[in-house]
Amino acid sequence: MRAGSRILSIVGAALALSLFTGTASAAETVHIVAAENFYGDLAQQIGGKHVSVTSILSNPDDDPHLFETSASTARALAGAEIVIYNGADYDPWMGKLLSASTAQDRVTIVAADLVGAKKGDNPHLWYNPKTLPAIASTLAAELEKRDPANASEYKANLATFDAAFGEILEKIAAVKAKYAGTPVTATEPVFGYMAEAMGFVMLNYDFQIATMNDTEPSPKQVADFEDSLKNGKVKILFYNSQVTDQTTTRLLGLAKASNVKVIGVTETEPKGKTIETWFSGQIAEVEKTLMGQK
């Protein structure tokens, strides 16, 4: 992330705004800020008409690793009563901005804390099947506490989400039952947790970590990646279209030339999608691909 250089320039704005906004515990609408838009989608599903949600990272065409904070980010956080972010060093700018705000009675929900992830782990936690249900239940409990008059709605919304996500978990289990052990690869470990849940064997992980950390993969890592595509060992290449460089673009071309199926994954929920339709579509694409290779 390259946001640190701009943090200090907006600290003053965050502090000043917090003096005027304060908390909104008595307001009709609970103001929630999510660092990433899939967490924002989840917040809207749980809170319904009783919340207003702002998602900071929401453009699927942008590289989230290049995100830079702004005064508008500080303004949004200054008025937030509940903040949801990923953690595990994926969005470190969020913690810095929050420490600059004096808002009282604000609650932060950090995905990494809920699933026991830490710095150095794969930070793409939303693809961990445990993450979104954990956030949903934590958020529902917080909303019930803040707004007990509408507690029954939050409980009902949580039940609806859990049921829908339960169907996704069933689809993941079905893929695992049929295709566990399938070798796959990726340009970055975005889909890693989901691939693991499906029982796949992920190759070229060191290459993926290097790409994620914006470091140069070693010649051996690149050669091993190329070989796994050329010899047909891997059945799917999960390609992160938001984080690309000359090497990953070349590997994409090699995969296509080698008839390796490419499935695009993103670090932002695509426009027009919900968590449920986004995940279900990807799972269906995986299953269709593997079914066609039998």
Q: Exposed, middle or buried: residue 239 (CB in 10 Å: 0-12, 13-18, 19+)?
A: buried
Confidence of residue 63 (pLDDT cuts 50, 70, 90): low
**In angstroms, how far is CA 128 from the centroid of its own chain?**
9
Q: Look up tokens 């700018």; give the residue.
A: 93
Q: Exposed, middle or buried: residue 158 (CB in 10 Å: 0-12, 13-18, 19+)?
A: buried
Q: What is the pLDDT of residue 17?
A: 37
Average pLDDT, the chain: 88
Q: Exposed, middle or buried: residue 181 (CB in 10 Å: 0-12, 13-18, 19+)?
A: exposed
Q: What is the pLDDT of residue 292?
A: 75
3-state SS class at 7: helix
Calpha distance 289→237 (Å, rounded): 11
Calpha distance 25→106 (Å, rounded): 9
How confident is the model over 117-123, as a mean pLDDT? 94
